[in-house]
Structure 1
Amino acid sequence: MDTAARLLRLLTLLQSRPDRPGPELAERLEVSTRTVRADVERLRGLGYPVHATSGVGGGYRLGAGAALPPLLLDDDEAVAVAVALRSAGTEAAISALTKLQQVLPPRLGARVRALQATSAAVPGPDVDPDVLGEIARSCRDHERLRFDYRVRDEAVTSRDVEPHRLVSTGRRWYLVGWDLDRADWRTYRVDRMRLRTPGGPRFEPREPPDGGFTGFVTRGVAEVLWNYRADVKVHGSAEEVAGLLPVAWPVTALGPGSCLVEAGADTPHDLAVYLAALDRDFTIIDAPELREAAAQLAHRLGQAGSR
């Protein structure tokens, strides 16, 4: 292959795995290791930070640079990125999607349009990427955040928080932090936060709340979404069952063949219907209202089946 094609192939190989030995790259490109070294220098000249390591396990690694160089995506990756950007719906995502669509080959553009035409996403509130970035930096550097927070009744309160983790539920971003005034863990919707400057001093990270940061957010979201909740033992692996349930239903493995589900719905009847639709055996734990609703549903279905 010519030099330009070889450079693109080399860049693809470096992006697909963190470390690549020189002899392996030479074999894949069907050139000598000397040519690989020359091509690496060409990539560096184009702004790609390619780091070299010596020794028995030495090779090349593509690092992070001061500026963002162009990325190479295969067909499936390009389609996945386009669909994800379309689903995000933010101004920055739409801008990035526009740039990507301009360079997509016709065959990939048709795949993206087909997916967009036959799928839908539940939109969430727009989140300023600069705010997300600042919160993420504070979590990483263990620096306190001060911000105004708009609660559900539209009242605005001032918060002084030790930020620990950002969690996305697919529709919304949440910050899990230790509220200094309340001396307890709290969850904050990022779209309701307005950061104040300057922030606060550094802090020592705390042990995560029970269930971890993701579990803490999931339980909090469930408490807001549903009026009725119950614990149910479902027969099936936690991984399999979790794939069938709403994201806000925490799932805890009890063994290789069963798991505990903290389920929720507006009414016991609605929850009974949903659990029946899973087509999995389950046991209701200490929830008499759900047991009664399940018995009524079973009786109704039994009558319908006997007619």
Structure 2
Amino acid sequence: MIKLGVIGTNWITQQFVEAVQTLKEYDFTSVYSRKVETAEEFASKNGASNTYTDLKEFFSSDNFDTVYIASPNSLHFDQAKQAIENGKNVIVEKPAFANQKQMAEFQTLLASHPEVKFFEAARNIHTANFHSIEDQMAKMAGISGAEFTYSKYSSRYDKVLAGEEPNVFSLKFAGGALQDLGVYTVYDAVTLFGLPEEVAYFPKLVATGVDGKGTAILKYSKFVVTLNFSKMSNSQMTSEIAGLKDFIEIDDAGEITEVSYHDADGNRQVIGNSNKENPMIEEAIDFAKVIDNPEDSEMQRLYKYWNQLSINVNKVLFNLRQDANIVFVDEEK
């Protein structure tokens, strides 16, 4: 059984813990938080036995073997490194790392610790609905382009409007729309189409200096993919993958709760609406299969594939920021 510890006690950590508690493969045991009260409250609510406010003590503990990291983006790298150095499997909430330098250093460290695994928690690509997109694309005569949209107004933007600087809208914490909702759309594109030849990013900057929304263009040899995402506005615009006379329609590029195929004659068929009660269950299942089956060649092939996707997505995110001249605090351009 996978003994799980977590860093972070926010809503997404709660959702992940609730997901693993539906699965026999996991045992949630440990919580780290900077505040004793916060750690104890989260542990009590979710049945964990161990709480920590010291990271060194947390990572040296034998009470867990796998850690889920959902701290502010800028903290992911150092915390993931400590986890690997202490022999823990690492599940890092997306985006795993802020730039290519961090990713390269982490991959070197990971290679020196082959006994542990690293996963970026990009839940959308692990869902049955996403796989229905892949299956349908394989049947289509050709692809002529795509557009992915994921826009949700963030309550934290109210704080920006009030003159504050919440973590998710802070250069200090590697925030911004691209580093949050935009990651889902980049994962959609890179998983389905691979690395683009060129990228361009047109952001709408907010008062804190990060992007509140933006449009990214990914240029491939035969088509262009457009990504639209926002944390300062809502949208119900669907996403599409264009074939020749046919296309795939996706209700939401981040959540992907319904996928339909429209054929050349205008007929619409729902090909994906298999939704778990908790959207993080499917990724948790995939991670457990890899961790629990170190000798299974197919599981290890998938693990290497997901790891390479993480590297590729990191590269695209970094290049998009470079194009828009968005530089995080303490980061070399």
Q: TM-score, normalised by structure 1?
A: 0.27
Q: Larger C-alpha radius of gyration, 1 or 2?
A: 1
Q: Decide which structure has greater helix share.
A: 1
Higher RCO by CA contacts (8 Å cutoff, separation 6 or greater): 2
